[in-house]
Chain A
Amino acid sequence: MNRKYFFLPFLLLLAHAGGRAQPLVPATGDERRVMLEKIEESSRAMTSLACDFVQEKDLSILDERLVSTGRMYYRRDNRLRWEYLAPYLYTFVLNDEKILMQTGMSREVVDVKSSKLFREIVKIMMSSVNGRGLTDAKSFTVAFYRAGAAWKVVLVPVQRETRKVFSAIELTFNTADYTVDEVRMDEPNGDATLIRLSNKRFNAALDDETFAID
C-alpha cells in the first residue's frame, strides 16, 4: 500500500481536530486578573447594546436541532428586550423589577422579586449580555480559560435549584471589544443550548418604548 494512503486517516483526523473548537487552556492568575479588568472596563463603557442572535438547541432524545433567531436590546439601567422572530414569536422584556413574557397566544407580567427562579434567570441573562456577575461567588463558581484568540468563562451554579436546570453556563468573549459572542447552557441530561450574538451595535440610543411593559 502506498504510504501516503496509509497515513491518510491520520491526516484527516488531524485536519478534523484542527476544525474543532479550540481547546480550553486554564488562565493563570495574572491572565484571569487581566480578563476581569478588560471585561469590566468594556461593560462600564457599554450603555446599550442591540444585536441579532441565533439560538441552537440540541435535543438528544430526538436527534434534532431547534434553531430560532431574533433581536436583543440591552440598556444599562436594567432594561433588556429579548425578542424571538422565527420560527415563533416570543418577547421577553425586563424593565427594572418587572418582566413581560408575550407570545401570540398569551401575555404575562411578573414581578422579578416574586420568584427566586426569575431572579436567577435575570441574573444569568444580564451576565450573558454585559459580562458582569463573574465574581458572584454566591451564585456561581467561575473558571477562566483561553480558547485560541477568545476567552471563555465557565459558570457552574452553586444553588441546588439552578443546578437542576443548568450544569454549566459558558460565556465566550472576543478579545477585540471584550464582549460576549456566545452563550452555551449545558443541562444535566446532556442537552445544550448555544446562543450566538452578531451584528452588535454599541451605545446606540434605545428609547423607552423598546422596553415598555404596560
Chain B
Amino acid sequence: MRRSLLISLALLPLLLASCFPARELRRPAFDGEGTARYHVLITARQAEITGVMVVKRVPGGWRGSMVNEFGVKAFDFIAEGGRCRLLNTIPFLDKWYIRRTIAADLAFLCGTGRDDGKRLAERRDDGVILLRDERRGIKYLFQPVGR
C-alpha cells in the first residue's frame, strides 16, 4: 500500500504535466526564415505603445525595426554576439534605461541574450508571442501579420 502510494506520488508530476502541457518558448522566438512581421503591443504600467515590427535573420544574428502604424520609426535594433543595440530611437523612448530594457528583452526573444529567469514567455499555436518582463513590469504581444 505504502509502495503504491509512493509510486503514485512519483507519477503525479508526470500526470499533471500531461494535463497542463508546458508552453516553454523556444528561442529564437521569431520565425527564422526570411523576414517576419508582427503587429506589436507593448504595455508598461499605464502606458501602451502599438506598432509594427519587422524582424529579419541575418548572418550572425538578427536585425529589426519597429515603426508605428503611420510608419514613424520607433527604433531599429541589431541583436548579435550575445547583445542587442537599439538605434534611431524616437525621442520619447530615447532614455538609456528604456533602451537597455527593450534591448535586453529583444535579445532574449532573439535567443542572443541570457535567460536570467525574470522573463515569462510563450508562443501560442497561432504564432502569437507573449513576453512578460517581470523585473520591469513590461508586457509584449507580437501578433503575426502577412505581407
Contact = CB atoms under 8 A, between A and B. Distances in A.
Same complex for A and B? Answer yes
Interface of A: 55, 57, 59, 61-62, 64, 66-68, 82, 84, 86-88, 90, 92, 101, 103-106, 108, 117, 161, 164-165, 185, 187-189, 191, 193, 195
A165 B72 CA distance: 8
A86 B146 CA distance: 8
B92 interface: yes
Interface stretch (B3-11, B47-55, B95-103, B111-119): B47-55
Label chain A's interface by main secondary structure. strand
Interface string B126-147: 0000000000000001010111
Given A66-B71, A87-B145, A105-B143, A165 B56 contact: no
| CB-based closest 9 A-B pairs | A193-B71, A57-B71, A90-B69, A189-B88, A105-B41, A88-B39, A87-B145, A61-B76, A59-B65
A86 B48 CA distance: 22
Nearest to B41: A105
A67 B52 CA distance: 11
Contacts, number: 91
Interface of B: 35, 37, 39, 41, 43, 48, 50, 52, 54, 56, 63-65, 67, 69-73, 76, 78, 87-88, 90-92, 141, 143, 145-147
23 contacts: A59-B67, A61-B87, A61-B88, A62-B35, A66-B37, A66-B54, A68-B69, A87-B145, A88-B52, A88-B69, A90-B39, A90-B50, A92-B70, A105-B50, A106-B48, A108-B48, A161-B91, A164-B91, A185-B72, A187-B73, A189-B88, A193-B67, A193-B71
